[in-house]
Structure 1
Amino acid sequence: ARIQYERIGSDVTMQCGSLDNEASVTWKVNGTDVKARRREEGPRLILMEVNMSSNGLYSCFQNPDGQRRDQINLRVG
């Protein structure tokens, strides 16, 4: 997994590998559904106003086969 550092209160964009803008993906954080305020735009996950509870290991899976394409370790501080 790669590490992405972000500031508290910022909006954070995570990109699922090198997938193109038409790709459909599913995101998980620490193996569970992402509950935070967010937008999803193709292969990107945009978290709104992150805080310390946003920390974690984000994994994206390409639909429909469910193959994992990327992992991002988000560190907010």
Structure 2
Amino acid sequence: MNITVAIDGPAGAGKSTVAKRLARSLGLVYVDTGSMYRALTLGCVKKGFDPSSEVERTASLAPTFDIKLTPDGKVFL
């Protein structure tokens, strides 16, 4: 069974702290989506284009990036 948990709330509310603890206690991988978006942006910039002005191109290239997630929530491009 696959488990997905999404936590939403305002900045500084403790979402990351709670999410990391919950992931650890359930044996799940913590994914920081903000870090994933920043990695995608970096990949686009390295390919020489502005992802905010070329949304369709960004969406089409997103699956081609090799983004690695570590169990502690780090994201690598």
Above 0.5 in TM-score?
no
Larger radius of gyration: 2
Q: Bigger relative contact order, structure 1 or 2, given CA contacts below 8 A and separation 6+?
A: 1
Q: Going by fraction, where is helix more abundant, 1 or 2? A: 2
**Normalised-by-shorter TM-score class:** under 0.3
Structure with bigger strand share is 1
